[in-house]
């Protein structure tokens, strides 16, 4: 044996074998710490093949069955050699979500980094703290007041688009989801990005590409052999995903480019005769989310590079339109199947607005208490983000179980919201669950549609204002009736319908 071979053998003995032994020992200790938690899925693939061969809707039903099977609120399923600790009991969610240490987003957020980079959704540690503090003021009440004008403008455009569709196809139901998507995209682009893209009037492939990309990520989760990026990029699904990313990133780069041009124009603004006009002043003073990022870039010695800037914009474009669009869609679907509750909404609208034809203002919206409860009950049954995950940075004690450092915890918001151990008749649509007397003894973590704790949704007030404004604009003009009583849906990052949601629109007069 020559000298080089001897050196290689020595390196193998000194470096490789100890690493293998260390890995095996770590897995042994890790698995031993999990042994008391109910588990399903056998080595080597766990439940991967079982879940991979199910539809999105059937995966939801599979999880519901596990909830009934493991009533203690916790169980583990394995995909490959990776355990996923699933919890859906409010007391358990509280322990994880309220933690200031266990804030790292777990698998599958790693798969989203090629799309969202290290934006607010995927970042952690010092970067997340910095970004959260920077972006937080964007959603202050005073700023939301100013953005309410834009949301109302976009809602009025939506009603005109619906009127046109109804006139073109009288008596026929309308697939509402694309309309909800377009109005939500219009709103987020002008409010958060300061750019009017006319999404409701000009067709864009952005939303359909987002939906396709989300679906590909959701499918990839159950294929552990494709978790490696270099391999995924070689297979057809990975090639398709990356092609979609190019479309998404091109769109957001164009949004950034347009805002930069507009800022240059505004910086050269010449004082005009109507400068004291309140609306003009408010419009110039309005700080969009993207403006804050660009301002920060101009002031700091370490500005965000183009990819980092795009990552933040991609994050807010995705989270700021897709989640709201499905919430509006599901609310109309449920109202169209629960006409007695819809009638109460119309009574409330007539009481507040009477014969007024002007768009709703914030004071009027604040009086719509029954519509508030309708939205809350919709988000209970169809939380826009049904699942979030955490990668534990330290051991966590839950009841008699110890969740070890490094474990991935799956926090099932959707299952918690329909857990029969928590909610009476959980599948019934009942807005009165959220009357003060009915809510006061409920664990606050039994209902967390916007997550909770330090990593709660930064834009939840914005989202609720948008949903309420758009729904009010629609319901002041029409009564709605759903074509179907049940719709298949699935968790493709968002609780999205798997089929078209057709709604009949009938004029109130």
What is the mean predicted confidence (pLDDT) over 29-54? 80
d(CA 132, CA 126): 10
Ramachandran region, residue 86 (left: φ > 0; alpha: ψ -120 to 50; beta: rest): beta
Q: How many CA atoms lie within 13 A of 133 on its CB side?
A: 7
d(CA 58, CA 169): 34
pLDDT at 2: 61
Does pLDDT of 47 surpass 60? yes
Does pLDDT of 332 surpass 90? yes
Does pLDDT of 279 surpass 60? no
Q: Which two tokens stand for residue 243?
A: 């092609």
Query: Of the spans 224-228, 267-271, 313-317, 468-472, which averages the highest pLDDT?
Result: 468-472
Tokens 């583990």 correspond to 76
| 173-203 confidence digits (pLDDT tens) | 999 999 999 999 999 999 888 888 899 988 8
Does pLDDT of 171 surpass 50? yes
Share of the chain above pLDDT 90, in %: 61
Q: Are 131 and 120 in contact (CB under 8 A)?
A: yes
Q: How many residues does the chain have?
A: 509
Q: Are 76 and 403 in contact (CB under 8 A)?
A: no
| 420-461 confidence digits (pLDDT tens) | 999 999 999 999 999 999 998 899 999 999 999 999 998 899
Q: Are 104 and 124 in contact (CB under 8 A)?
A: yes
Q: Are 324 and 494 in contact (CB under 8 A)?
A: no
d(CA 116, CA 105): 13
Q: Give 285's pLDDT tier (boundaries 50, 70, 90).
A: very low
Worst-scoring range by mean pLDDT, 123-137, 364-378, 392-406?
123-137
pLDDT at 433: 96
pLDDT at 278: 37
d(CA 92, CA 411): 9
Closest CA to 498 of 317, 244, 383, 326: 326
Q: Are 183 and 154 in contact (CB under 8 A)?
A: yes
pLDDT at 30: 64
User: Where exactly are the structural domains of the chain?
Assistant: 34-507
| 293-313 confidence digits (pLDDT tens) | 888 777 777 777 888 889 989
d(CA 364, CA 353): 8
Tokens 């070890």 correspond to 404
Which CATH architecture is the domain 34-507 placed in? Answer: Orthogonal Bundle (1.10)
Share of the chain above pLDDT 70, in %: 88
Q: What is the largest CA-CA distance in the chain?
A: 97
d(CA 423, CA 245): 40
Note the pTM of the prediction, 2 decimals. Answer: 0.90
SS3 452: coil
What is the average pLDDT value for the chain, to the nearest integer? 87
Does pLDDT of 401 surpass 60? yes
Query: Of the spans 4-18, 72-86, 475-489, which averages the highest pLDDT?
Result: 475-489
Does pLDDT of 3 surpass 80? no
């Amino acid at each position: 044996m020559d000298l080089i071979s001897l050196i290689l053998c020595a390196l193998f003995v000194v470096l490789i074998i100890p690493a293998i032994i260390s890995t095996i020992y770590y897995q042994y200790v890790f698995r031993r710490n999990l042994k008391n938690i109910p588990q399903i899925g056998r080595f080597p693939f766990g439940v991967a093949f079982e879940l991979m061969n199910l539809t999105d809707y059937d995966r939801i039903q599979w999880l519901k069955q596990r909830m009934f099977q493991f009533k203690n609120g916790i169980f583990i399923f394995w995909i490959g050699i990776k355990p996923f600790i699933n919890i859906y009991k409010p007391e358990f969610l509280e322990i994880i979500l309220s933690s200031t240490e266990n804030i790292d987003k777990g698998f599958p957020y790693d798969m989203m980094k090629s799309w969202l980079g290290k934006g607010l959704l995927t970042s952690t540690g010092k970067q997340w703290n910095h970004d959260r503090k920077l972006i937080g003021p964007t959603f202050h009440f005073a700023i939301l007041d100013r953005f309410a004008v834009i949301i109302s403008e976009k809602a009025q455009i939506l009603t005109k688009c619906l009127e046109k569709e109804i006139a073109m196809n009288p008596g026929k139901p309308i697939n509402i989801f694309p309309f909800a998507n377009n109005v939500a995209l219009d709103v987020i682009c002008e409010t958060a990005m300061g750019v009017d893209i006319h999404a409701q009037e000009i067709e864009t492939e952005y939303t359909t590409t987002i939906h396709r990309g989300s679906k590909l990520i959701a499918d990839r989760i159950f294929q552990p052999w494709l978790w490696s990026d270099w391999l995924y990029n070689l297979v057809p699904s990975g090639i398709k995903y990356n092609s979609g990313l190019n479309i998404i990133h091109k769109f957001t780069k164009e949004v950034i480019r347009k805002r930069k041009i507009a800022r240059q124009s505004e910086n050269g603004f010449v004082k005009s005769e109507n400068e004291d006009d309140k609306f003009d002043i408010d419009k110039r003073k309005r700080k969009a989310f993207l403006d804050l990022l660009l301002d920060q870039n101009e002031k700091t010695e370490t500005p965000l590079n183009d990819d980092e800037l795009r990552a933040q914009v991609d994050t807010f474009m995705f989270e700021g339109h897709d989640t709201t669009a499905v919430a509006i869609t599901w609310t109309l679907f449920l109202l169209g199947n629960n006409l007695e509750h819809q009638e109460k909404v119309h009574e409330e609208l007539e009481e507040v607005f009477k014969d007024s034809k002007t768009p709703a203002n914030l004071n009027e919206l604040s009086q719509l208490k029954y519509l508030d409860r309708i939205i809350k009950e919709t988000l209970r049954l169809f939380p826009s983000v049904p699942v979030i995950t955490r990668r534990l940075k330290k051991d966590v004690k839950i009841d008699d179980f110890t969740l070890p450092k490094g474990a991935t915890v799956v926090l099932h918001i959707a299952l918690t919201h329909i857990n029969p151990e928590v909610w009476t008749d959980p599948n019934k649509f009942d807005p009165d669950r959220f009357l003060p007397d009915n809510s006061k003894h409920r664990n606050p973590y039994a209902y967390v549609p916007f997550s909770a704790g330090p990593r709660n949704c930064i834009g939840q007030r914005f989202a609720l204002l948008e949903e309420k404004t758009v729904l009010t604009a629609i319901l002041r003009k029409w009564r709605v009736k759903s074509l179907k009583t049940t719709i298949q849906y699935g968790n493709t990052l968002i609780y999205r319908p798997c089929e078209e949601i057709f709604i009949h629109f009938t004029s109130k007069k």
